Copies of this chain bind each other. A is one copy, B any other.
Amino acid sequence: MNTSHPLHLLLNPSSIAIVGANNNPMKMGTMHALSIMKDGYAGKLFPVHPKEKNVRGLTAYPSASALPVVPDLAILVVPSSEIINLVDEFGKKGTRRIIIITAGFRETGSHGREEEERLKETATKYGIRFLGPNCMGIINTDISLNTTVVTLNMKDGRLGMISQSGTYVSQTLPYLVKHGIRFSKAISVGNSTDISLIDALEYLGDDESTRAISLYIEGLTDPRRFLDVARSIVAKKPIVAQYVGGSKAGARAGLSHTGALAAPDHLYDGLFKQAGVIRVDSVEDLFGHGWMLATQPRLKGRRVAVLTNSGGPGSSMAHTCEQNGFDVPEFSETLRKKIEPLVPPHAPCGNPVDITFSMDVEVLSKKIPAIVMESGEVDAVVLHGIMRSGFIKVIYPHLVDMLNGTPLEGILNMLKIDFTSSASLPEKYGIPMAISSFFDFEDDFTEAYHSHNVPVYDSPEKAARALAALLKYRDIQQRLKDSRDESPIEKNDEAEHILNEALRSGRRILDEYESKRLLALYGLPITKELLVRSESELEEAIDAIGFPVVLKACSSNIPHKTGKGLIYLRLSSRGECVEAFGKIQKAAGAEVPVLVSAMAKGEREFMAGFLHHNLFGELVLFGMGGIFAESIGDRAFRIAPLSINDARNLVYDIRNAGLLGEVRGLPAVDEAALVHIVRSIGAIGSHHSSIREIDINPIILEGRSPVIVDALIVLK
């Protein structure tokens, strides 16, 4: 626990002032106050109100200055025009943490943006750290503090939630309670004017009651800091994130909601992968997968047992598990023999185990899972069909007149069993478990699972997919070593000289020859080549390089050469070369230098690049190359600089990464060489502030060796 973090006091105040609450129960301010008063918070609450003497039994004070103590935290739920004055008042009083619920700032346009700036300045003057504006406040179940408008009804939570939408920490509370999901802390960051989502992430990373963190994101202000913070947390606890700003509509919605600046989906994809954050695409998974990660023991392998009382859900769980990376191994003869006596004749017991319809819930909930967990043959269990009171309630109307008038309650009591030993199996064996039940939260079995922190989902595929979040986290931890490798290259002065020369001559682009020369200065492998301006130079070049060669017009005025008669491949005689040289001069319409390069021999073409993004900063990309690279659209991004591990993960992140391996008798790529190229591109871009963009396409694999065949450097 980081007690010096600005959020610590905000989440753990011993006294709170609230402005905007009165005695009208339908007023927002009152609803916020009621949550603090009614949900178990043991600290002091001071309503501040210009006219009311008393708010719901608490003495109200006319102003901040009139308060009998300096409250640790102030909560403001008043019109936006009053906010800055109130911040000033609380600043004078000595309060240093504020939650600003009120909306109407940056998200409304330019006037709101200016007001938000003034607000920030006012707070800064007093050293005040604040949450919001345009937020729902916070929940801290450690001290039963709930500043939202909705009843809390949860304690001993394990999931930390940080959201750019207030709804996801308030309107969803009853939904979460039904599903047994409980927040440790929840923080609605709103416009993130001061305390940001990343600050909150940093805090929850150190928070002991938080076992996993869920993030709802409309747009990050500082993706690079997110990367650093998230990556260091992921080593200890999992993070799940939903990002909705990647579409045109999502970006527009986010902007008018919290003033969030969105960026394309593929950049967030790269960011999340680089940081080791598990991405989901619905709030249901944000909560459901987060809860799985917050509660279940870590996975030790990828083998899962599928247990069911019904074939359909069993088949679809097995299918979904396998599609999500699990193995569903057939059980050993020994294990099957142990299960057989517990199930009807002919019932499948080799994984899936299908006990078929049965009212004996202990077989499915306890006996079989225990045998399976004990066997050492699986690392996780997914289980469908445990039901008790839910099912009895449903069939009761059919049975009532056969039960001698016993009321439903009586039947339920009669059939009551202790679910503790079933629900504590994951803890006992250190093996994670997910439950699927169509009776969901309307069953006493589910209640038992909930209270033992075993996640229950309302359909088989959902349980299987949630369980797979553990597998993703396991893979992330194996893949992600937070290495801070040294820069692969030192800055090269001659390279800087090339760039400066180009700038001095007013150019905004290096031609192919210069671009590759610059890369070669950094030791990157380029094709053997010479620039020629005459036929005699051409002859010399051919002698030096040897056939076959490629001839290309080389000028920064013509960066794209394909299809214009400016490029001739696979020339293997002097005659052909001379002819091509002439054709190029003709096609260019003016004398143009010609680049003579060795023809790269290889069929596997990739691309790599460096670019700047206004929000993400320096980025490195890798993808499928060749002339159709754009149409194929198979590329991935990472934030620079790249560690060796980052670069390795990047190159294998493309869809067609299989082409980097052994394929069709060709050797696997020299991984170290490729990783070095990709990292160096990022470092070169960083070393030279005049570089805006480096585009390398293709990188051809000559055997196992990546060779840069074409490159273009764009200047700022």
Contacts and interface: CB of A to CB of B under 8 A. Distances in A.
Interface stretch (A448-456, A468-476, A625-633, A670-678): A625-633
Interface stretch (A162-170, A192-200, A230-238, A527-535): A162-170
A609 interface: no
Contact of A257 (B216, B242, B354): B354
A458 to B, nearest CB: 7
Interface string A382-401: 00010000100011011101
Contact of A312 (B108, B257, B281, B572): B257
A576 B533 CA distance: 30
A357 B461 contact: no
A395 B168 contact: no
Interface stretch (A205-213, A318-326, A333-341, A517-525): A318-326
A320 B352 CA distance: 34
A168 to B, nearest CB: 5
Interface in A137-169: 149-151, 163-168
B632 A656 contact: yes
User: Interface range on chain A: under 10, 10 to 19, 20 to 34, or 35 or more?
Assistant: 35 or more
Given A395-B151, A461-B283, A172 B627 contact: no
A165 B313 contact: yes
A306 B166 contact: no
A257 B628 contact: no
Interface in A244-286: 244-250, 252-254, 256-258, 281-284
A686 interface: no
Nearest to A384: B167
A168 B248 CA distance: 38
A459 B318 contact: no
A59 interface: no
B249 A328 contact: yes
A315 interface: yes
Given A659-B632, A664-B562, A283 B314 contact: no
Contact of A322 (B172, B247, B462): B247
A456 to B, nearest CB: 13
Question: Which among A112, A257, A604, A656 has the greatest number of chain B C-beta atoms within 10 A?
Answer: A257
Contacts of A348: 253, 256-257
B659 A318 contact: no
A151 B312 contact: no
A665 B627 CA distance: 10
Interface stretch (A27-35, A536-544, A590-598): A27-35
Given A313-B167, A458-B284, A664-B631, A346 B249 contact: no
A403 interface: yes
Contacts of A108: 346
Contacts of A459: 282-284
A322 B250 contact: yes
Contacts of A659: 628, 631-632
B354 A319 contact: no
A658 interface: yes
Given A218-B312, A631-B658, 8 more contacts: A167-B311, A174-B438, A248-B322, A256-B348, A281-B320, A282-B320, A282-B460, A562-B664
Interface of A: 23, 25-26, 28, 31, 34-35, 38, 56, 103-104, 107-109, 112, 149-151, 163-168, 171-175, 216, 218, 242, 244-250, 252-254, 256-258, 281-284, 306, 310-316, 318-323, 328, 330, 345-346, 348, 350, 352, 354, 356-357, 359, 385, 390, 394-395, 397-399, 401-403, 438-440, 442, 458-462, 562-563, 570, 572, 603-604, 626-628, 630-633, 656, 658-659, 663-666
Kindly list the 8 A-B residue pairs having the minimum CB-CB distance in the complex, ordered from nearest: A165-B312, A250-B319, A257-B311, A249-B328, A249-B318, A282-B461, A253-B315, A256-B348
